[in-house]
Amino acid sequence: MRRNLLAARSATALVTVLAGLLLWSAGRGLLGPAGGFLTHVLWCFSPTVLANGSLATLDAWAASFCAATLWATARFVARPSLFRSTVIGLTLGLAAVSKVTTLGMLPVLAVVGGIAVARSHRGPRGRLAGAIGLRVIGCALPALLTVWASYRFDTGYVPRTRDCRLVTNPEEARLGPVPFPMYIQSGLRQWGHGQRGHLNYLFGETRSDGWWWFYLAALLLKTTLGAQALLLLRLLGSRLLTRREALADLAVLAFPALLLLVMSLGHTQNGIKYILPAFPFGMLWLGRAAPLLSRWLGVLGTRAWQLALALGVAGSLAIHPHYLMFFNTWAGGPEGGPRYLIHGDDWGQDQRRLAEWQAKHGLRRRATFFYAAYSGNPDAWGVVWRKPRCQPTVGTHALQAVEVFRPKRWPRGCLDWLTVEPPDERIGYSIFIYRVDEERLKRLAAERDTRHPFWRSGPPPSGAGH
């Protein structure tokens, strides 16, 4: 298991590093050396990129191929050609295979590519449509073939149901025969899941239909203060933009705005990783702060963006290696952040550390070690445990943060008898440790009826039990 994880996570890390280099190249070409440097450092020290850039999941792959598409598009805009449109198609196809949400780049690419070809066209005006059409085919065909090749050039029917099965009878089909039917069916299934909703959590509230401001809150609490300072400086310097630079800004921010809108309207809000494909575009947009501030304030402007960048780097490194649980000062850091956001941040990533902690402290008796697990396979990592009880119990209790704030595996309120007090210890910020002896058991049982869990504010409950 560990060898497989190492191979998968190493591949993700490699792709993420290469994407950062392509993003640096795009920034240097569009914004100059300082802009490229700023863009690259933002990518390399983003807590969200660092968190997902070493996992065996496809979120960082999607963001990385979006960065590659951005790089390819920048080269195409500089000098449109059939070859460069083909490169865009290949990178777009790889992004689409990783996450279906990256298909939101399609309308933006169509508009930007069409304008670029029109501006560079030197032949008769009557041939402009043909030149644009050739580039569109040169982009669309490689993208389709890339997606199809990833499904081994499979063809079939898409069923009417939203599960992942495929059908061979046309009468049962919604669509077909078509290439890559499983990809189409998976996209429809994700769309349906987004409409039905998920058990979401935000600012102490649990809902299945989500909040329109969920991802705005995630960006506010899970990006570094340095990046937010750069955003403010970038907005202040925007009054110096030329018309061409303003249009470039519009093109760069079009896909992030579309992705943010679509995901905010959906009912499945599983953490900031859902909008990770927008990060390369946002970072390139922020990268313009370097030349813009230097043009506006000279040396003072240069020092301003450098200081903001250093602040962001320091804030990110301070939590190493627990980047999934990064929260900035607005949220109270990684210890205070889970009371506002937790779903998508706690995946059970500290189970190996829990097993090591358990062995170090000699707490390997299943009868007295209770673990409120959320996901993963704690037994495979060596955790010796049993399920916790909803009644006060003597023993050592390890609680996943997500099960404390947004219970799913246990009834809501089941663990409140324990969490009326802060944890004695935290493992990687995502696992809360409580040691309960007979004396503490009596105190917890009494506090259960008079106090809220430690993260909630407001007056204590008036009735027994809550």
Give the rounded percent of residues in the chain with a pLDDT score beyond 70: 97
Buried/exposed code over 64-74 (b: 16+ C-beta within 10 A; e: otherwise):
bbbbbbbbbbb
The total of other beta-carbon atoms located within 10 Å of residue 317's CB is 12
For Cα atoms 148, 7, 327, give the angle at the middle one, nearest 5 degrees. 95
Which pLDDT value is given to residue 408?
84
Q: What pLDDT, in 10s, does the model give residues 403-437?
A: 999 888 888 888 889 998 999 999 999 999 999 99
Task: Please report where in the chains the tokens 């102490």 appear, as a residue.
Answer: 204
In sequence order, the 6+-apart residues with CB closer than 8 A to the CB of 173 are 157, 158, 159, 160, 167
pLDDT-based confidence at 164, cuts 50/70/90? low
**Token pair belonging to 427:** 């493992």
Q: Write the Ramachandran bin of 243: left for phi over 0, alpha for psi from -120 to 50, otherwise beta.
A: alpha
Are 101 and 262 in contact, with CB atoms under 8 Å apart? yes
Q: What pLDDT, in 10s, does the model give residues 244-256?
A: 999 999 999 999 9
What is the DSSP annotation of 347-389? SSTTHHHHHHHHHHTT---GGGEEEE--SS-HHHHT---B---
Do the bridges between strand 395-400 and strand 369-372 make them parallel or antiparallel, or are there none, so unpaired? parallel
Residue 239 has pLDDT above 80, yes or no: yes
What burial class does residue 3 get, using C-beta atoms within 10 Å of its C-beta: 0-12 exposed, 13-18 middle, 19+ buried? exposed
How far apart CA 333 and CA 42 sit, in angstroms, is 20
Are 350 and 278 in contact, with CB atoms under 8 Å apart? no
Higher-scoring residue by pLDDT: 447, 360: 360
**Three-state SS for 273?**
helix
In sequence order, the 6+-apart residues with CB closer than 8 A to the CB of 183 are 97, 100, 147, 150, 151
Residue 197 has pLDDT above 90, yes or no: no
Domain definitions of the chain by residue range: 2-325, 351-447
Q: What pLDDT, in 10s, does the model give residues 372-399?
A: 998 878 999 999 999 998 888 999 999 9
Q: What's the N-to-C CA distance of the chain in angstroms?
A: 41
pLDDT-based confidence at 454, cuts 50/70/90? confident
Are 18 and 10 in contact, with CB atoms under 8 Å apart? no
For Cα atoms 37, 39, 44, give the angle at the middle one, nearest 5 degrees. 90
**Three-state SS for 448?**
coil
Could you give phi then psi for residue 393, rounded to 5 degrees?
A: -145, 135
Average pLDDT, the chain: 91
What is the DSSP annotation of 37-58? HHHHHHHHT-HHHHHHTTSSSS
For Cα atoms 46, 48, 49, give the angle at the middle one, nearest 5 degrees. 65
pLDDT-based confidence at 463, cuts 50/70/90? very low
Which pLDDT value is given to residue 160?
78
Give the residue among 155, 58, 151, 50 at the shortest CA–CA distance from 102. 58
In sequence order, the 6+-apart residues with CB closer than 8 A to the CB of 312 are 42, 45, 224, 225, 226, 227, 229, 230
